[in-house]
Amino acid sequence: MRFILASASASRQRVLTAAGIAFTAVPAAIDEAGLKNALLGAGAAAKDVAAALAEAKALHVSRAQPAALVLGADQTLLLGDELVSKCPDLDAARALLSRLRGRPHQLVGALVLARAGAVVWRHGETSNLMVRDFSNTFLDAYLAAQGEGILEAIGCYKLEGLGAQLFETVEGDYFSILGLPLFALLAELRRQGVVAT
Strand-pair partners of 112: 72, 122
Residue 40, pLDDT > 90, answer: no
pLDDT > 90 fraction of the chain, expressed in percent and rounded: 84
31 is annotated as an active-site residue: no
Q: What is the pLDDT of residues 114-157, one digit of tens each?
A: 999 999 999 999 999 999 999 999 999 999 999 999 999 999 99
Q: Which domains occur in the chain, in start order?
A: 3-191 (3.90.950.10)
**Which is the catalytic residue, given 74, 81, 91, 140?**
74
How much is the mean pLDDT over the chain?
Answer: 94
Measuring CA to CA, how many Å separate 84 from each of 47, 135, 160? 11, 22, 21
pLDDT of 192 reads 94
Ramachandran category for residue 147: left, alpha or beta (phi over 0 → left; psi -120 to 50 → alpha): left
